Amino acid sequence: MKTVKAITLILSSVVLGACTAETQIIPQQVKIEQLQHNWKLTHVDNIQLATVINSTLMIDPTNKSTGNLGCNNFVGTAEFSDNQLRISKMANTRKMCDELKNGVEMDVTSVLSDWSNVMVDNDSLIIGNNKHSLTYQLIK
């Protein structure tokens, strides 16, 4: 009886393993309308931000983009193509920022101002390039 259970367990594992080996993950196609909301930055490179940092991103239906980089405000135009986003013609204020906020600003600016990959998952927006990943939460 133990041998039958063992054989059944092994066969089940092989069959399930074969099924998962054939499963392909297809990247979700993002539409610009999914990005046209208010977002709050919660993580940079999977590290949760301190509560003193209030970095936001807002993309309106005309693709005008505004927000806060961490200390300074910005404005620009969202361009979107093939699941990639960039904020072109970005202009921002030039306030003096503490070291923590300045570091976040540099990371956010480098991701938003260059073509970066975009993924939307429920109420989360992830924008990343080969240097940094930004995770935003939808502001309701």
Distance CA(109)–CA(88), nearest Å, equals: 11
Distance CA(38)–CA(93), nearest Å, equals: 20
Number of domains observed in the structure of the chain? 1
Q: Is residue 60 part of a domain?
A: yes
- Confidence (pLDDT) at 22: 47
Q: Is residue 10 part of a domain?
A: no
- Confidence (pLDDT) at 8: 44
Work out the average pLDDT over 37-43: 97
Work out the mean pLDDT of the chain and round it to a whole number.
85
Work out the average pLDDT over 50-58: 93
Q: What percent of the chain has pLDDT over 70?
A: 81
Work out the average pLDDT over 107-112: 97
Question: What residues make up the domain containing 98?
Answer: 32-138
Q: Is residue 55 part of a domain?
A: yes
Q: Is residue 44 part of a domain?
A: yes
Do 32 and 80 meet the contact criterion of CB atoms below 8 Å apart?
yes
Task: Pick 66 or 50 by higher pLDDT.
Answer: 66
Whether residue 96 has pLDDT greater than 80: yes
Q: What percent of the chain has pLDDT over 90?
A: 75
Q: Is residue 9 part of a domain?
A: no
Enumerate long-range contacts of 45-48, CB under 8 Å, 24 or more apart.
Answer: 45/107, 45/132, 45/133, 46/133, 46/135
Q: Is residue 113 part of a domain?
A: yes
Whether residue 42 has pLDDT greater than 90: yes
Q: Is residue 24 part of a domain?
A: no
Quickly list DSSP for 55-118: -EEEE-TT-EEEEESSSSEEEEEEEEETTEEEEEEEEE------HHHHHHHHHHHHHHTS-EEE
Q: Is residue 79 part of a domain?
A: yes
Work out the average pLDDT over 5-33: 53
3-state DSSP call for residue 39?
Answer: strand
- CATH number of the domain to which 37 belongs: 2.40.128.270
CB atoms within 10 A of CB 136: 23
